[in-house]
Each structure stands twice: as C-alpha cells, then as structure tokens.
Amino acid sequence: MSTTSTTFLNRSLNNPLVLPAGIMDVSYSGMMYAVENGASVVTMKSLTRIPRKGHEGPVVAEIPGGLINSMGICNPGIDAGLEEIEKFKANCDAPVIASIFAVAAKEFVELTASVNSSRADFLELNLSCPNVADEFGVPLAASKESVFEIITEVKKVSRLPVLAKLSPNTWNVVEIAKGAQDAGADALVMINTLGPGMVIDTEMLRPVISAKFGGLSGPCVLPVALRLVYLVTREVTIPVIGMGGVSSGEDAVAMLAAGAALVGVGTAVYTRGIQIFNDIARELDEWCVRHKINSIRDIRMA
C-alpha cells in the first residue's frame, strides 16, 4: 500500500487529492481528465435548480500570488449536471461529489432529492459562495442558524454522506463548523474563496472583472486556509477536506499537518496544469519517504 493511500468516509483512495467544485468539472470529460492525471476524488460544479449563465466576462483576473474570480455559479442546472455525473460513473469508479447551491433549506432539500437518484458518492452543500452577494446577500455559511437548519433538513432526506462547504469570510468559523457537525454533517469542506476582493485597471480606471468584486484564491490564501483548518479540526470529530492555495507537495503536507483528511487542489490546476495532481502526489510520497512516514494520517500535528 502506498504511503499516500487513505480512506474517506469508508472509501479507499490512492491519494488524498480532490478536484474541488468549479475547476474543470462542468462535464464528465473534465472530471475524467482530472482522475487520469492523479486526482482521487472529483467534485461536480455546484448545481442549481435551473441553468445559470453566470456573470458576463471577464470573470477571472491574475494577481500576485493567485487569482480573483467571479463566475457567478454558472452551471447547466441540476438535471444536465447529474447527467454528466452519470456519464462519468459509467466510465470511472472514482468517487464523485455532487455539489449543490441554493438559498433556502427547502430548495436544498429539493436538489438533494434529485441527487438521491444519481450515482454520485457524496453530496456537497455549497453554503459559502462569495460571488453572488449582489443576488443572494451574505453567504449562508455566515449564519450558524442557517447552516444548522439547512443541514438538518437535508440529512432527513439525503441517501448520501453530506459535506458542508464553509466560508472563511466570517469571524465565527469554528462555531459554524461545530453547528454543522451538530446538525449531522458527515464532513466539512473548507475554505471557499476569500473576500470578495477587487482589482482595478489603472489605465482604464475600472474594475478588471465585470462583476467588480470576486473571490480570492491561490497561494496567497494558504496561510488563512491552514489556520482555519487547524482551528476547526481541533473542535470537530468529522473529517475536513482542506483547500485554499495548495500548489505543491509541501503545501499538501502543511494542509494534512493542520488536520485535513483530504486536500483540494483548485487554482493550481489553472496555474500549473492538470498534471499538478500527479506532481503533488509524487512530491507528497517523496516527503513521506524522506521523513519515514508510513501513512499520511501520521502527518497531523498534535
């Protein structure tokens, strides 16, 4: 057995690397490509009840240390998205996370009922997108009460393990994480993008992206992600998929040391290419060999 192999919610994995929602995952072919290049788990882009075009371009801008983006949860809608998951599962047995987005418990429950009929392995509740505040207001993950209500209602109907994706953009992340666990969440996913922030074109004197504001991702957010994963994993017993700025094997080691069970790699796919999963898996294995670590579970700090 490889030193990088692990388990997550009773699923055996070759390595701890996850393709997060919103990265090359609108179609089954994109998810397949990620698995072929080393990802062990893939996440379908967050799906809504009906298709969404998202924001007009440009929606992504490079900044020192990362990216700022405001996609606006563009997606093909729950029915078409689940069809892509079916195609993926017909060709690959890697676990897939179906991610859903809504603004109220009732709609999350309706979307969950649709996912129940699919071949998805896990259900992610996107409670934390910072890029649609102009439409939907403050992210749900900023409210412990909202998080508790939504997870409680979803758990009543979901046939799949429920993963709650939390926001870094609130002062009480630990309390919200504990509330998610109390409501029955089987795992947490954190962090979503930081911000929102803004980039200004000083020649044109206007925002670089059309929506003006967007979520910050990439290496510059890694210290924030590590801190929050560390704090949360000392207060909850359910596993955490840690993400935010991971772009190397050393970064993955740091995330595992902070307490993450699995490690998401998103922006680095854009900046370093899809082979990043194989690169990180190899670098992680080499680190374990150098430090005489037999299991990635042993990386976690006390």
What is the DSSP secondary structure assignment for residue 132, as one 8-state letter? T
| 220 counts as catalytic | no
For the chain, give the percent of residues with pLDDT over 70.
95
Question: Which one is catalytic: 92, 129, 220, 288?
Answer: 129
β 66-69/213-217 pair status: antiparallel
Closest CA to 261 of 179, 161, 139: 161
Mean pLDDT of 124-135: 67
Mean pLDDT of the 207-224 span: 95
pLDDT attached to residue 134: 45
Is the separation of the CB atoms in 231 and 173 below 8 Å? yes
Q: Which two tokens stand for residue 39?
A: 């990802």
Q: Which residue has the tokens 């990362």?
A: 66
**CA-to-CA separations, 27 to 95, 122, 133, in angstroms, rounded:** 15, 17, 26
Does the pLDDT value for residue 141 go beyond 80? no
Instruction: Mark 119-154 as b/e (b = at least 16 C-beta within 10 Å).
Output: ebbbbbbbbbbbbbeeeeeebbbbbbebbbbbbbbb
Distance CA 289, CA 107 (A): 47
Residue 73 has pLDDT above 70, yes or no: yes
Q: Is residue 137 over pLDDT 60?
A: no
Predicted confidence band of residue 35 (pLDDT cuts 50, 70, 90): very high
Residue 205 has pLDDT above 60, yes or no: yes
Task: Enumerate domains of the chain plus CATH numbers.
Answer: 6-54+73-193+219-299 (3.20.20.70)
pLDDT at 209: 95
**Euclidean distance between CA atoms 39 and 16, whole angstroms:** 8
What region does 54 belong to: left with phi over 0, alpha with psi -120 to 50, or beta? left
In the predicted model, is pLDDT for residue 288 greater than 80?
yes
The predicted model gives 199-224 an average pLDDT of 95
